[in-house]
A and B are shown apart, each in its own frame.
Chain A
Amino acid sequence: MRALISPSNLLKLPLAGALFLGLTAAFSTGCSKYKIKPPTDFVEVHAYSSEVRMKAQDNVGLNLRAFGNVRGGSLSYWGSDMVDKLSDRGYRLVAQAPARSKNGVVGTRFDFDYTPQGKDTPKFYIAVLFVTDEYRFVLQVAGDKAREAAYTGRIDEITGELKVRGCALASKICKGPQPPQLRRSGPAGPKGPAGDGAQAESGAESGVETGTGAASPTPTAAESAAEASPASAGG
Chain B
Amino acid sequence: MNMNRTLFALFALGLAGSGCKMKDASEASYPRSDMAMESEAYDGDADFDDYGDETAEMMEGEPAPAPMVDTSASSGRAASGLRERRAAKKAAQSDGLAPGGSAPPEEPGPSKPADAKSEPSKAKPGTSESDTDEPEPVARQIIYTAQMRLAVFNVDEAMERVEALAVAVDGYVQQMRQGYFILRIPAAHLRGVMDGVGGLGMVTERNLEARDVTEEYVDVTTRIRVLRETQSQLIDLLKRTKTVEEALHVRQALDQVTMQLEQALGRLRVLESLIGFSTLTVYIDERGPQNDIPSSNDPFPWVDSLGVEATEWN
Contacts and interface: CB of A to CB of B under 8 A. Distances in A.
A228 B195 CA distance: 31
A60 interface: yes
A89 interface: yes
Nearest to B296: A197
Contacts of A138: 306
A67 B309 CA distance: 18
A82 B303 CA distance: 6
18 contacts: A59-B312, A61-B312, A61-B313, A65-B306, A85-B304, A86-B307, A116-B309, A125-B308, A125-B311, A141-B311, A193-B157, A194-B152, A194-B201, A195-B309, A196-B201, A196-B287, A196-B307, A198-B199
A197 B310 CA distance: 13
A45 B187 CA distance: 47
Interface residues of A, number: 39
A195 B290 CA distance: 17
Nearest to A198: B199
Contacts of A56: 313
Contacts of A194: 152-154, 157-158, 200-201, 287, 309
B157 A197 contact: no
A106 interface: no
Contacts of A82: 303, 306
Nearest to A112: B308
A192 B199 contact: yes
Interface of B: 151-154, 157-158, 161, 199-202, 287, 289-290, 295, 300, 302-314
A34 interface: no
Contact of A63 (B154, B157, B304, B311): B311
A130 interface: no
Given A123-B308, A140-B310, A193 B303 contact: no
Given A118-B161, A140-B306, A196 B311 contact: no
Instruction: Please provide the 5 A-B residue pairs with the shortest distance between their CB atoms, ordered closest to farther.
Output: A142-B311, A85-B303, A197-B202, A197-B295, A55-B313
Contacts of A142: 307-308, 311-312
A129 to B, nearest CB: 10
A143 B307 CA distance: 11
A51 interface: yes
A193 B305 contact: no
Interface of A: 45, 48, 51, 53, 55-56, 59-63, 65, 67, 81-82, 85-86, 89, 91, 114, 116, 118, 123, 125, 127, 136, 138, 140-143, 191-198
A143 B309 contact: no
B156 to A, nearest CB: 10
Given A81-B300, A82-B306, A60 B312 contact: yes
Nearest to B157: A193
Given A45-B313, A67-B302, A125-B311, 18 more contacts: A56-B313, A63-B310, A65-B289, A91-B307, A116-B308, A118-B161, A140-B306, A140-B311, A142-B312, A143-B312, A192-B152, A193-B200, A194-B157, A194-B201, A194-B309, A196-B151, A196-B202, A198-B200
A159 to B, nearest CB: 15
A155 to B, nearest CB: 13
Contacts of A198: 199-201
B36 to A, nearest CB: 46
